Structure 1
Amino acid sequence: MRTFGKWLGRTLLALLILAAALWVWKREEITRVLAVNALFAADKIVHNFSHMDSMFLSTPVEKGDGPVSELVIGQSLTLPATYETWVKARSVTGIVVLKDGLLRHEAYYLGTGPDDLRISWSVAKSFLAALMGVMIENGTIASLEDPVTQYAPELRGSAYDGATIEDVLQMESGVAFNEDYLDFWSDINKMGRVLALGQSMDSFATNLSQRAAKPGSAWQYVSIDTHVLSMVIRGATGRPIAPLLSEHIIAPMGFEHTPYYVTDGHETAFVLGGLNISTRDYARFGQMIAQNGLWNGTQVVPAAWIAESTRPSAKTVKGNTQYGYQWWMPADAGQGEFFARGVYGQYIYINQPLGVVIALNSADKKFREAGVSLTNTAMFRAIAEAAQ
Structure 2
Amino acid sequence: MRTVIKWLLRITLALVLAAIVVGVWKREEIKRLMAVNSLFSEEKIVHNFSHMDEAFLTAPLPRGNGPTWELPYGAGFDLPDGTDEWVDERAVTSLLVMQNGEVRFEEYYLGTGADDRRISWSVAKSYLSALFGILLSEGVITSLDDPVVQYAPQLKGSAYDGATIRNVLNMASGVTFDEDYLDPNSDINRMGRIVALGGELDDFAASLNESFAPPGETYQYVSIDTHVLGMVIRGATGRSVTDLLTEKIIQPLGLEHDGYYVTDGAGVAFVLGGLNFTTRDFARFGQMILQNGVHNGQQLVPADWIAVSTAASSPTKPGKIGYGYQWWIPVGAEDGEFMARGVYGQYIYFDQARDVLIVTTGADRRFRDPGVSEENIEMFRSIARSL
Shorter chain as normaliser: what TM range? over 0.9
Question: Could you tell me which residue of structure 1 aligns to residue 366 of structure 2?
Answer: 366
8 Å CA contact retained: 1:122, 1:272: yes
Partner AA of 2:268 in structure 1: T
Q: Equivalent residue of 1:58, what SS?
A: strand
- Cα deviation, 1:75-99, whole Å, max 9, x if unaligned, reads 1021011111111111111111100
- Whole-angstrom distance in 1 between the partners of 2:229 and 2:44: 32
User: What's the offset of the Cα at 1:21?
Assistant: 2.0
Aligned length: 387
Within 5 Å, give how 1:138-177 maps onto structure 2. Answer: 138-177=138-177
Question: Could you tell me which residue of structure 1 aligns to residue 41 of structure 2?
Answer: 41
The alignment's TM-score, normalised by the length of structure 1, stands at 0.97
User: What's the offset of the Cα at 1:19?
Assistant: 2.3
User: What's the offset of the Cα at 1:13?
Assistant: 4.5
- Whole-angstrom distance in 2 between the partners of 1:186 and 1:18: 32
- Cα deviation, 1:195-240, whole Å, max 9, x if unaligned, reads 0010111111111111111111111100000000000001111001
Partner AA of 1:277 in structure 2: F
Q: Equivalent residue of 2:276, what SS?
A: strand
Partner AA of 1:272 in structure 2: L
Structure 2 residue 77 is the aligned partner of structure 1 residue 104: no
8 Å CA contact retained: 2:311, 2:323: yes
- Cα deviation, 1:85-122, whole Å, max 9, x if unaligned, reads 11111111111110011110000011111111000000
Structure 2 residue 301 is the aligned partner of structure 1 residue 286: no
- Whole-angstrom distance in 1 between the partners of 2:369 and 2:40: 16
Partner AA of 2:83 in structure 1: Y
- Change in Cα spacing, 1:90 to 1:5, as seen in structure 2 (3 Å) is farther
Structure 2 unaligned residues grouped into runs of 5+: none
- Cα deviation, 1:264-311, whole Å, max 9, x if unaligned, reads 111100000000011011111111111111112111100000000101
Q: Which moved more, 1:129-138 or 1:324-333?
A: 324-333
Partner AA of 1:344 in structure 2: Y
User: What's the offset of the Cα at 1:9?
Assistant: 6.1
Question: Could you tell me which residue of structure 1 aligns to residue 332 of structure 2?
Answer: 332
Within 5 Å, give how 1:47-196 maps onto structure 2. Answer: 47-196=47-196
- Whole-angstrom distance in 2 between the partners of 1:208 and 1:229: 15
Question: Could you tell me which residue of structure 2 aligns to residue 250 of structure 1?
Answer: 250
User: What's the offset of the Cα at 1:16?
Assistant: 3.1
The alignment's TM-score, normalised by the length of structure 2, stands at 0.97
- Cα deviation, 1:159-194, whole Å, max 9, x if unaligned, reads 111111010000011110000111111110110011
Structure 1 unaligned residues grouped into runs of 5+: none
Q: Equivalent residue of 2:353, what SS?
A: coil
8 Å CA contact retained: 2:33, 2:55: no
8 Å CA contact retained: 1:96, 1:107: yes
Q: What is the RMSD of the two structures over their aligned residues, measured on CA atoms? A: 1.5
User: What's the offset of the Cα at 1:54?
Assistant: 2.0
- Whole-angstrom distance in 1 between the partners of 2:163 and 2:285: 29
Aligned identity (percent) is 60
- Whole-angstrom distance in 2 between the partners of 1:250 and 1:76: 29
- Whole-angstrom distance in 1 between the partners of 2:239 and 2:101: 33
Within 5 Å, give how 1:290-305 maps onto structure 2. Answer: 290-305=290-305
User: What's the offset of the Cα at 1:15?
Assistant: 3.9
Question: Could you tell me which residue of structure 2 aligns to residue 215 of structure 1?
Answer: 215
8 Å CA contact retained: 1:50, 1:116: yes
